[in-house]
Structure 1
Amino acid sequence: MSTLQSQIRQLASAIEEHRRDLRTLYGDLGKAAAKGDSPSAQEVLQKKREYEIQEELYQRLTSSLRQFEDRSRKLKQVQKDLKLLSKQKKELCGQLGAIAYEAYGNTPYSEELAQTLAPFLETKKRRKAARAVFPHVHRRALGRMFLKVGEEVLDKHLEEELRSEARQELFEQVQEYRSREHLLGEELILHRSALDQLKNSEVQTPWLRLETYNQNRMKALKAYEEAAIAYGRQVYDQEGDQNSLTMQITLHRTRIKQLGSEIKGKQNQIKIQELEAQIEIEKQKIEHIADQIGALRSQIDQLNSAIAKRRTLIRMLEGTGNDE
C-alpha cells in the first residue's frame, strides 16, 4: 500500500506540473489573441497597459538608484584619491619650500615670489641662532616652515622660478600633481552635481519607494496574467486545436486526464486492499466465533449427559423406595 501511495504522490506532482504549464500556455494564448474588440480581449490589453506603467516606474527608479549608487561610489573613490594626492602635495611642498627657503637672498626672484618668501626671512634668521641650542626642535620647526613655504609657492604657481635650483624630476612630479588635481577636481564637481540632481528628483526615500513600486508592479503583473489566462481558456474552448499553442494545451489536458485515471485506478487498488484486509479480519472473527460455538456445544453435551445421569439416578432411587 505504501508503494501505491508513493506512486499516487508522484502522479499528483506530475499533474500539478502539467497544470502550471497549462496556465502558462493559456496565458500565452490569451496574450497572443488579445487583439479584438471583445470585452475579454480589451480587459487583457488594459491590464497589460497598467502593468507596463508600473514596470516603467519601477525600472526608472531602479535606474536612478543604480546611478545614485554608482555616483556615490565614484565620489568616494575621488575623495580617497584626493586624500592620497594631499600626501603627495605635502611631499612636493616640503621639497619646494626647502629649495626656495635656502635659495632666498642668493638668487634673484620675481617680486611676487620675493613677497611670498619675505614673511619667513626673519624666521630664518632666528632659526640659525637657535640651531646650535635646540637642534631637534629646530629641525621639526624647519620642516613645518618648508611645508608652509612650499604651499605658498605651489598655490601661487611660482615653482617655475625655482627650476634652476632643483632637479627636473621634481618639476615633472609637480606637473603630474597639478594635472591629477585638476582632473580629480573636475570629477568631484561632476559627481556632486549629479548626486544633487538625483537627490532632488527620484531618490527621496528611495528604498521605500522601490519596495512600493515593486509591490505595485507584481500586483499589476498578476492581474495581467490572470486576465490573459482567463481569456486564453475562453479562446481555447471556442477555437480548439488551430495552432501550436492550442495543440500543446490539448496534449497537457489529455495527459492530465490520463494521470487522473491512473490515480483513480491506484486509489481503487488501495481500497480493494483495504476491503480484502477487512474481509480477512472478519473471517478470522468467524473462525474464532465458530471455535467458541464448538466449545459451547461440547459444554452443552457434557451438561446434557450429566443431567441424564442424574435423572437415571433419581429413578433408581425412587424405585428402591417403593420396594420397601
Structure 2
Amino acid sequence: MSVIILGIESSCDDTSAAVIRDGLLLSNVVASQAIHESYGGVVPELASRAHQQNIVPVVHEALKRAGVSKEELSAVAFTRGPGLMGSLLVGVSFAKGFARSLNIPLIDVNHLNAHVLAHFIKEENEMTKQPTFPFLCLLVSGGNSQIILVKAYNEMEVLGQTIDDAAGEAIDKCSKVMGLGYPGGPIIDRLARQGNPKAFSFSKPHIPGLNYSFSGLKTSFLYSLRDWIKEDPDFIEHHKMDLAASLEATIVDILMDKLRKAAKQSNIKEIAIAGGVSANNGLRNAFREHALKYGWEVYIPKFSYTTDNAAMIAITGYLKYLDKDFCSIELPAYSRVTLQ
C-alpha cells in the first residue's frame, strides 16, 4: 500500500502544501506574500493573516494537482518550528485539525532539518543525485547560516553557525542601505552578475573555529558607502553593479572559507548546500569551483527547493513515517532557532 504524505509549510511568509507518494513528489504549491515588499521586511502580523487566507486553497490545490483525495492520505507532516510564531500557528493548527478529521497520524518537522533533506526529493522522470551519509551541508538563508554534519536523516550536528547575523540577513540589509528594495538576495544576485567582484573590499571577520559573523561586514559596508557618498552623492547609482558583486564575493568567501575547514577537519568530501541563499549564483559557482579544486562531490538543490516550500516538509515527513515517528496533537509550535 502506498504511503502518501501531505506536507504543510508556514514558518515565515510563504504558505505551501505538497504531496509525496512513496518518496515521489506529486505536487508542490507555494503562495507568496508580496505585501511585505513595501515594508522592507516581513511583518509578522500581516504574514499570519495572509496564511489564514491562503492555507485552505493552497492545500486544496496541492491535493488537486497530485490527483489525490484527502481520504487517501497516510499522514500530515507540518513545520513545527523554528519560525514566526503567528505564521507557524496557522499551519500547525490546520495540520492538527485536518489530521484529526481524517484520523491519520501527525508528523512534526523541524524547518532546518527539512532544508537539508530537500536533497532527497524525487521527481518523476528526473534523475536526482542524492548525497550519501555522512555529508556536510552548508545551510544559508535569511535567518540561518550553519555548517551541519549530517550523519543520518534524523541525526544532524551543527559544527559551526553565525554568532550574530545570517548571510541572507546581511545581504538584505546591505540591499536596503543601497535603496535597492526587499528581498535583497535576488536583486544583489542579478546586479552582481554584471559587476566586478574585486572592485571594492570590505571587512572580513576573524572568528575562531567554524562559526560565522556577518555584523562586521554590514558595518564595513555601511561606513564605506557613507564615505564614498560624501565625495559623490550618486555613488551608489554609478557603482551599484560593482558594489553588489563585491558584497556577494565577500560573503561567498566568508562562507566557503569555513566550509573548507570543516571538510578538511571531518575528512568528508560529500558537500551539500541548502536554504534561500543557495539560490545565489556566486555561491553556486563557488561550489562548482571547489568541487573541481578539492575533489568534492557537491549537491546543489533546484531553485524551487531553496526557498521555503512544503516539498521539503513532505519528504522529511515521509522518512519519519517509515520509522513510525509520529507526534502528539498536544505538541506546540516553537519559534526558537534550533536543529533537532
* TM-score after normalising by structure 1: 0.19
* TM-score after normalising by structure 2: 0.18
Q: Name whichever structure is richer in helix by fraction.
A: 1
Higher RCO by CA contacts (8 Å cutoff, separation 6 or greater): 1
Q: Name whichever structure is richer in strand by fraction.
A: 2
